[in-house]
Structure 1
Amino acid sequence: MPQKTSFDVRLGKWTRREFRQAMESCQLKGCILPLAAVEQHLEHMAMEHDWRSVNVIAEQVAEALRPGVVVAQGIMAGISEHHMKHPGTLSLSPGTFLSVVDDLVDSLVRAGFENILVLNGHGGNVIPCQQTWDQFLRRHPVNLHFMSYWDVLNQEDALDLLEGGHRLPEDLPGHAQEFETSMALRWFSENVRSQAMQDQKDRSPLLGTREKGEAFTRRIVERLTDYMHGMLAGSRKQTIPPFHP
């Protein structure tokens, strides 16, 4: 393993020697690639929310699986055309976004990773990725998975932890409402403007609490850790879809 004073799960913090030694040791077996967005999150939350939240989850999963997993620098901006009426939103066209995802996955494959989890934190990225994932699997014949970090949550979690509504996906994850506000209050409360929550028409963010954010995070990290452990152990393998010309 690399001669580091501490193990940092963020790949960008490593030197090339440290990474090379980690791969040669065969202990580093998987990588998480976060996807997100920079867009409006109502009046009360900072526009970087999706990026911060997906990285919080990714880094905790990697910590649970250390030294076998690292988190690569993913894509901060996503497909957010539907939010462009709110100035400050940054959006990529679907073609550009998918091309960059493909290039980053290719880079990780060429680096030697055989288990890659592309972990999404923005709803607008989901359908474009799902619709093209067969092509990704054919281009990159490794154990390549795509999911949003909230995909491991279910109706029971919504009923157990949410007060304002229990619909999936309208309330869980929703958008800048009880769930996302709770996550922000737990992990980056400086991004939440409490006065704005009082002023805006949507009242559901007021139901968000730090405690709910902690409870959701605990469930998400535990289940995603189990999911990726299966990837590393070989019990959760992605199959290459057949090609029908």
Structure 2
Amino acid sequence: MSAEIRMERMTSPEIGAAIEAGVTTVVVAAGAVEQHGPHLPLFMDAEHGDRLAVEIARRLERALVAPTIRVGWSAHHMAFSGTVSLEKDTFLAVCRDYCVSLAHHGFRRVCFVPSHGGNFAPLAEAREAFNEAAGPDCSVDVYSDLIEVIGTWREIAEAEAGLGARVGGHADIAETSIMMAMHEGLVREELAACGQLTTPAEEPELIRRVLSEGFRSVTPTGILGDARGATAGLGEKMITALADRIAAHFAG
């Protein structure tokens, strides 16, 4: 079997051989191409999904990584220039077709990893439909705990830098640090700013408002939290901690 685990970089015979050898779990990241404040590029969530999926598959072992679904449901970001969004039904149809295709080739487990906040609830709600579409020989699982993601970032930011209060969940110190860990040269550090601050108790209501009223109704900068104080080292620790937790969910 090839040492490569990203399917789009493998050949068809290599993937077939891996499945024959019992590598029948596949990780699918579901990201977005949308605004991330004045300082981060639009592909933040898609790139984060690429990295997370690989890290999670390595922890699960005997797993491959499907191509990331790079555009997600981002209707609540459309007030900001450049955002590309699928309709929710379109996004879920793409995810369903992934499940059908992967099951057809012999994968027995599909693990969805949302790397964009707006994708969490739709994927969780569609899990039963995905399982029905994949058929009886393939199970579909979805990691759906957005609050745990934000909490994990907050724990790392507080433990490493005493800046947990700057984590808000979007274009904040966490996502800025993660982008610096992946592509430091693409972060406009001089434009990193404080956006709409929140607390853990306020997060569920804030997420509801963002999804129902749109992002600009909550934060005119497009930032939830505070982007200042980010570092690549902090980003690497956040990626590691989140991959550990999501892999534990799928392994449990």
Letter in 2 for 1:223: R
Structure whose residues are more often helix by fraction:
2
Of 17, 21, 25 in structure 1, the residue corresponding to residue 17 of structure 2 is: 21
Change (3 A) 1:99 1:60: same
* Matches of 2:25 and 2:60, distance apart in 1: 9
Unaligned runs of 5+ in 1: 231-235, 237-245
Larger CA deviation: 181-190 vs 93-102: 181-190
- Equivalent residue pairs, number: 219
How far off is 1:225 after superposition?
3.0
Q: Residue in 2 aligned with 1:37?
A: 32
CA RMSD of aligned residues (A): 2.5
**SS of 1:106 mapped into structure 2:** helix
Q: Residue in 1 aligned with 2:230?
A: 208
* Runs of 4+ with deviation above 4 angstroms: 148-157, 198-203
1:209-234, Cα deviation, whole Å (9 max, x unpaired):
22221221221222333333x2xxxx
Task: Verify: 1:63 aligned to 2:63, yes or no.
Answer: no
**SS of 2:141 mapped into structure 1:** strand
Instruction: Tell me the TM-score normalised to structure 2 length.
Output: 0.78
Of 26, 39, 42 in structure 2, the residue corresponding to residue 47 of structure 1 is: 42
Change (3 A) 1:190 1:148: farther
Letter in 2 for 1:20: G
Change (3 A) 1:151 1:22: farther
Residue pairs, 1:159-174, within 5 angstroms = 159-162=155-158, 163-165=163-165, 171=167, 174=169
**SS of 1:23 mapped into structure 2:** helix
Task: Verify: 1:95 aligned to 2:105, yes or no.
Answer: no
- Identity over aligned residues, as a percent? 26
Unaligned runs of 5+ in 2: 196-220
Instruction: Tell me the TM-score normalised to structure 1 length.
Output: 0.80
